[in-house]
Amino acid sequence: MATSTRVDSVSIPSVSELPHWQEVRAPHGLGYRIRLMAQLMSRLFQEKLDPYDLTPFHWVVLCCLWEQDGQATSHICEKLKQVGGTLTGVIDRMEERNLVRRERDPHDRRIWRIWLTETGRELETVLPPLALEVREVAFAGITEAEQKLVSDVVDRAIANLAHP
What residue segments make up the domains of the chain, in order of their start? 41-46+53-121
Residue 62 and residue 120 in contact, taking contact as beta carbons nearer than 8 Å: yes
The predicted pLDDT at position 27 comes to 76
pLDDT digits (tens, 9 = 90+) for 90-110: 999 999 999 999 999 999 999
Per-residue pLDDT at 1? 47
123 has a pLDDT exceeding 60: yes
Contacts of 3 (CB under 8 A, 6+ apart): 14
Q: Which residue has the higher pLDDT, 44 or 86?
A: 44
| Amino acid identity for residue 127 in this structure | L
Residues 6+ apart with CB under 8 A from 112: 72, 73, 102, 103, 104, 105
For residue range 136-150, list pLDDT tens digits in order. 999 999 999 999 999
Supply the mean pLDDT for the chain.
89
List the Cα angle 134/135/140 in 5-degree steps. Answer: 105
Residue 151 pLDDT class (50, 70, 90 cuts): very high
Which pTM does this prediction carry? 0.80
Average pLDDT over residues 111-121: 97
Give tens-digit pLDDT for 47-71.
999 999 999 999 999 999 999 999 9
Second-level CATH architecture of 41-46+53-121: Orthogonal Bundle (1.10)
